């Protein structure tokens, strides 16, 4: 199946229509505002790509909606559009690392396996939406690179190499994010497909179009393989395998580490010990916790906590 390549056919590449005229928000120093329509706001802040962002049932976000500053995307609105204002390093010192961190976090943490699935459960367009978002930045990086090389060929090696280094770093983050998604898809493919089928028409997809094709093909291939290897030799009444039951579901009871973005009160903690002592805790902003995923699942979805 096609592995994700940086070339995404699409429309998205063309520059998001409806991009808010705004680059007004941008500082005049925004890199290549003229070259890259999205004006590279796609600092690829992980937050923007982060699946947690959007609340359930939100309109499909597109890079377009990027107009909103991504900083703390209101759950109601669109997803953390990738684009965001660019300020100098000082301004974003905290954000950029966090964002990429968040991005990496969401992907790399094993617990996030269940997470993404959970997100998928809620029909978050985050995954799907973020895919769209991701497409364009990847595309844009390519374009940025080309422009870069053209314009800077004569401007000295140092600048070019610095830009190239940064590009590589961003590409690494992006690709590890995508790799993580593919890993999750491969691990839980029947459940993902099931969720896709169940999702109502109005809700945005959790997968990008390419991912959806990938899942379907993966499923077909697996079924074909099982059939050819074993099933067709079985007695006729045993020739079906229910992949939904055969493949383990994402485990929503696993423990995860999290960092709190917004203060939360009265989170119920249910110890599984014999004494039934459910108790509530408050989550202070900026604190870190270790807790079962199920209790905080909606908070992850709304972006109030961040997984580590």
Partner 1 sequence: MDAAEVEFLAEKELVTIIPNFSLDKIYLIGGDLGPFNPGLPVEVPLWLAINLKQRQKCRLLPPEWMDVEKLEQMRDQERKEETFTPVPSPHYMEITKLLLNHASDNIPKADTIRTLIKDLWDTRMAKLRVSADSFVRQQEAHAKLDNLTLMEINSSGAFLTQALNHMYKLRTNLQPSESTQS
Q: Report CA-CA distances (Å) from 226 to 127, 184, 195, 243.
A: 29, 21, 23, 11
CB of 160 to partner 1, least distance (A): 10
Handedness of CA 111, 215, 47, 162 (dihedral sign): positive
CB of 253 to partner 1, least distance (A): 6
CB of 57 to partner 1, least distance (A): 29
* 279 phi, psi to nearest 5 deg: -140, 160
Residues that bind partner 1 (CB under 8 A): 29-32, 40, 42-44, 86-93, 96-97, 100-101, 104-105, 108-111, 144, 156, 158-159, 162-163, 165-167, 169-170, 172, 176, 251, 253-257, 269-273, 281, 286-292, 308
CB of 266 to partner 1, least distance (A): 13
Q: How far apart are CA 249 and CA 254, in angstroms?
A: 12
The helix (run of H) or strand (run of E) holding residue 171 is helix 157-187
DSSP code for 54:
S
Q: Report CA-CA distances (Å) from 266 to 66, 114, 278, 283, 284.
A: 33, 23, 11, 8, 11
**Is the Cβ of residue 87 or residue 182 nearer to partner 1 in the bound state?**
87
**Is the Cβ of residue 43 or residue 51 nearer to partner 1 in the bound state?**
43
Q: Report CA-CA distances (Å) from 33 to 37, 42, 49, 162.
A: 6, 12, 21, 19
CB of 109 to partner 1, least distance (A): 6
DSSP code for 116:
H
**Is the Cβ of residue 61 or residue 259 nearer to partner 1 in the bound state?**
259
Are the C-beta atoms of 82 and 63 separated by less than 8 Å? yes
Listed residue (126, 110, 113, 141) closest to 78, CA to CA: 126
Specify which residues 288 forms β-bridges with.
Answer: 259
Q: How many residues does the chain have?
A: 308
**Is the Cβ of residue 236 or residue 286 nearer to partner 1 in the bound state?**
286
CB of 251 to partner 1, least distance (A): 7
**Is the Cβ of residue 13 or residue 35 nearer to partner 1 in the bound state?**
35
CB of 179 to partner 1, least distance (A): 12
**Is the Cβ of residue 186 or residue 251 nearer to partner 1 in the bound state?**
251
CB of 126 to partner 1, least distance (A): 20
**Is the Cβ of residue 86 or residue 199 nearer to partner 1 in the bound state?**
86
Listed residue (37, 60, 25, 35) closest to 202, CA to CA: 60
Environment class of 57 (CB within 10 Å of its CB; exposed 0-12, middle 13-18, buried 19+): middle
């Amino acid at each position: 199946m096609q592995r994700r390549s940086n070339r995404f056919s699409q429309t998205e590449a063309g520059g998001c229509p409806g991009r808010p005229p705004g680059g007004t928000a941008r500082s005049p120093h925004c890199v290549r505002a003229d070259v890259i329509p999205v004006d590279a706001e796609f600092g690829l802040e992980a937050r923007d790509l982060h699946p947690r962002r959007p609340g359930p049932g939100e309109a499909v976000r597109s890079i377009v909606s990027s107009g909103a500053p991504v900083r703390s995307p209101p759950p109601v609105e669109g997803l953390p559009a990738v684009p965001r204002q660019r300020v100098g390093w000082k301004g974003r010192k905290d954000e950029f690392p966090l964002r990429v961190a968040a991005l990496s976090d969401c992907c790399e943490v094993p617990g996030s396996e269940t997470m993404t699935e959970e997100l998928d459960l809620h029909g978050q367009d985050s995954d799907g939406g973020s895919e769209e978002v991701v497409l364009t930045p990847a595309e844009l990086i390519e374009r940025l690179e080309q422009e870069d090389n053209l314009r800077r060929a004569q401007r000295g090696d140092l600048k070019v190499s610095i830009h190239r280094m940064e590009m590589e770093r961003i590409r690494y983050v992006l690709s590890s994010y995508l790799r993580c998604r593919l890993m999750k898809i491969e691990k839980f493919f029947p459940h993902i497909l099931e969720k896709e089928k169940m999702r109502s028409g109005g809700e945005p997809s959790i997968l990008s179009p390419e991912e959806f094709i990938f899942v379907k093909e993966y499923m077909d291939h697996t079924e074909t393989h099982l059939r050819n290897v074993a099933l067709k030799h079985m007695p006729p009444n045993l020739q079906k395998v229910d992949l939904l039951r055969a493949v383990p579901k994402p485990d929503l009871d696993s423990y995860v580490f999290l960092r709190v973005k917004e203060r939360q009160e009265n989170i119920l903690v249910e110890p599984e010990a014999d004494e039934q002592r459910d108790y509530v805790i408050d989550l202070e902003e900026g604190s870190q916790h270790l807790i079962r995923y199920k209790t905080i699942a909606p908070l992850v979805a709304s972006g109030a906590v961040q997984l580590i």
